[in-house]
Structure 1
C-alpha cells in the first residue's frame, strides 16, 4: 500500500508506503518507507529470527540541540528548522553513501564487478514492480522475474 499523504506539492509519487512480502519458504518481511514522519527521517532495520533479533538505526545521533532561528541544512528530510534538532554527523558516511560510491569507483578502476550487480538491480526492480501492481490491485501479486 502507498499514498501521497503530505507532499502532493512536491511529488507525483507516494510519500509513504508499506509492503508485506511473503517468501517461498513462508517467511514474511515488512518494509515501511515514509518521508512524512515528524521528527525527521529514520533509517532503522530490524531482523527477527527464531533465536534472536538484530536492530540497526543509522539515523540515531549523539548530537542534538535546540535552535531558535533557522541555520540552514541540518539533515536529509528534516521536518523542522527550529526547536529540538538532531543533525547526523558525517551524514553521507552514516547513511553509507560515500562508502557505496567509493566501492563502485574502486571496482570501475580495477575493471571488476561490484558487490551489487546489474542483475541485483533487476531483482530489486522486479520486486518493486510487484509492489506497485499490488497497490493497484489491492491483492497479493507475484514477483515476476524476467526470463
Structure 2
C-alpha cells in the first residue's frame, strides 16, 4: 500500500467543547488498478500510535476492514465486511460521528443520497480525534468537507 496521501488537522475551538466535528465527507479518485486505501481518524497530527478509527477498503476483495490502534499496537479484534459497492476508479464517503454513543456511521454517497455501509463503536472518545489521514492507492482528493454542531 502506498504511503500517506492526504492529511488534515481537524480545527477545534478549545473554549467551546460542543463545537466539534460531527460529519466528514470525502470524494476521491483512485490510481489505476488500486488494491486498497484507508482513512484514519488519528489522535495526533504528527503520530499514528493512537488511531480512534481505521477504515480500510480492499478493492479487489470488495472488503472493508475496521480497526483501531492504541499505543502503537493494532487491536486484535477488528471487523471485516464484504461489500460489493466500491468501484476501481473513485470513492465518495460520509462519516457521521455520534459523540453520545462513541460511534461512527459510514455511508457511501451517491448523487444526492447515501447508502449505509457500517457502524463502528470506538474505544477512544471521539473528541480525541485531531486529524484525518488518507493512505493508499489514492490519486486525488476531489472534495473534503467537515461539518460541525
State TM-score, norm by structure 2: 0.26
Greater radius of gyration (CA): 1
Structure with the larger helix share: 1
Q: Greater share of strand residues, 1 or 2?
A: 2
Which is bigger in relative contact order (C-alpha 8 A, separation at least 6)? Answer: 2
